Structure formats: structure tokens, C-alpha cells
Amino acid sequence: MQVFNSIKEIQQWSLQNKKQGKTIGLVPTMGYLHNGHLSLVREARKQCDIVIVSIFVNPIQFGVNEDFDEYPRDIQRDQLRLEAEKADAIFAPAIKEMYPGGYNTYVEVLGEIPGKLCGSRRPGHFRGVTTVVSKLFNICLPDKAFFGQKDAQQALIVEKMVKELNFPLEIVRVPIVREEDGLAMSSRNVYLDHEQRHEALILWQALQKAQESIRSGETNVETVRRQIKQMIVACPQAQIDYIEIYNASDLADLQKIRGQVLIALAVKFGSTRLIDNLIVEV
């Protein structure tokens, strides 16, 4: 497995691989890899000749009061895990390599999809995501790029960007990977203390309960949101950021629950903000 820090070097390497007719799969990550990330890598390994995993904690997608400095990092452990998964290359650039002095070019998806859920709470977040992802696409030249369903809104926005800017590649969405007790895997789970870790199980439980309720015939959005809310507020440390139910393909508001709907939650436990979601088909 090769480790690249230089944009020029990995871009050349990718170009050479493409010239040899090899397909490239890219898994963009911020590192501190857990089994959720590794499931993306495994999917890329199955579908592509060459697997590149980028590890870059992207400063421009963090707000000023967010956890950029504290975001967990362990490149050596990441490297061992990726070797075990038979990734071909890691791309781990320095911040200055990605954003040299005077950097001023941004890619942005506007409109309804980025204006909801995390987009409305984290101004600039998705602009930071679409910008870095565009850069990674141009640098690594993937045929396919793998994104987790955990960040459902991110996947939708990246898909829209790829379609609208005509990137010559396909986005593959990979299902959420959960701990045995149901907590969605996240690099931020390490922030949770014992009690918070236990309380956080409510997210998955509430999503499952909502699914049950919808499958039993409930079509009222507010009723389902209220059911979820009641479960979460029963946890002493939980502070709800949002509980939303939208059309799964474009985050459009729903009069009634029907078709494919996305139930999305963001809840803080102490200072740790967790997200989780479930797509329910009616």
C-alpha cells in the first residue's frame, strides 16, 4: 500500500493506472477509521481494480465553534487497518497542500437540499464538503466514489453535485454500520462518556419505533416526530437538534408519509452531536 501526501504524485499515479485501463474507487474519509469506513473500503475493493482512501480532516467544513481541533486522528492505526483491507493507496495531504495561501475557489450546491437538516445548523459545512470532494475527485480521478448512508444529506448533496457538474464517475452509497447494540458507528462516538454512550442508543431505538409506527399505517409526519421526541427527551443528557421526516430523494417536505421517506435525527449528548437516520419505504 502506498501513502501519498502530494497532490501531484497521486494524480500522476491515478492517471497512469487509468491509462492501463484500471478502474479506481475512492473512499473519502476524515480518518480515525471505524467499521463503517471499512465497509466502504470493502465495497470499493469489490467493485474497483484500485482502491484509494483519502484521509483528510477538512478544515473548511467545520464551523468556528465546532470540533476541528479535537477531531480524533490516528493515522498509524488507520494505515494498519487499510493494509488489512488491501487498499492500494492512502492520500493524506497536509492542510497547506489542499488549501495553499490565497485559496479561494469553492463548489456549492444551493437550494432546498442543503438548506435543511445539518445544512441549516452548520453554515458553510456542505460548501466545505462539496469543495473538498471536488478536489479529491480531480486529484484521484475515481470511476466510483463511496459514501456512507450515515451522512444521508451529504450523500444526496454529493450525488446532486456529481450529476450537475457532470463528473465522470458514479457515487455508490453504502448502508450504515452499527455497533452490536445499534449505535451508528461514528468517529465522534469516542467523545461519549459511559452514561452518554448508553443514552445514545435511544437514537436507533427511536428510529426503529418510528419505522414500526409507519409500517402499522401511521401517515402523519407530526405524530411520528412527536413519538420520536418523547423517547429522546426521556434521556437526561439528550438535547435534540432536529428530528425530521422528508422525502428521501430530495428532502422535500411531506404532507403525508408515503413513498421513500428519510427519518433523520441530530441529538447532542453533552457536547457530542450525533446523527442517525433511517429510510422507510411505505
Pick the closest to residue 121 from 246, 261, 263, 242 (CA basis): 242
Whether 37 is catalytic: yes
Give least dist CB 126 to a copy of itself, A.
Answer: 11
**Distant-in-sequence, close-in-space partners of 87: CB < 8 Å, separation ≥ 6:** 1, 27, 41, 45, 51, 52, 53
Binds a copy of itself by CB under 8 A, chosen from 166, 180, 194, 222: 166
Q: For a copy of itself, which is the closer residue by CB, 17 or 186?
A: 17
Give least dist CB 242 to a copy of itself, A.
Answer: 22
How far apart CA 193 and CA 201 sit, in angstroms, is: 13
Tell whether residue 168 is a contact of a copy of itself (CB under 8 A): yes
DSSP string, 142-202: -SEEEEETTSHHHHHHHHHHHHHTT-SSEEEEEPPPB-TTSPBP-GGGGG--HHHHHHTTH
Tell whether residue 96 is a contact of a copy of itself (CB under 8 A): no
Side-chain half-sphere CA neighbours of 219 within 13 A: 6
Of 104-133, binders to a copy of itself (CB under 8 A) are 104-111, 130-131
Q: Report strand pairing: 260-269 vs 238-247.
A: antiparallel
Q: For a copy of itself, which is the closer residue by CB, 130 or 149?
A: 130
Tell whether residue 236 is a contact of a copy of itself (CB under 8 A): no
Type and span of the H or E element at 24:
strand 24-29
Q: For a copy of itself, which is the closer residue by CB, 107 or 201?
A: 107
What is the total count of residues that contact a copy of itself (CB under 8 A)? 30
For the annotated catalytic residues, the residue numbers are: 37
Binding site for a copy of itself (CB under 8 A): 7, 11, 15, 18-19, 21, 102-111, 130-131, 134-135, 138-139, 141, 160-161, 164-168
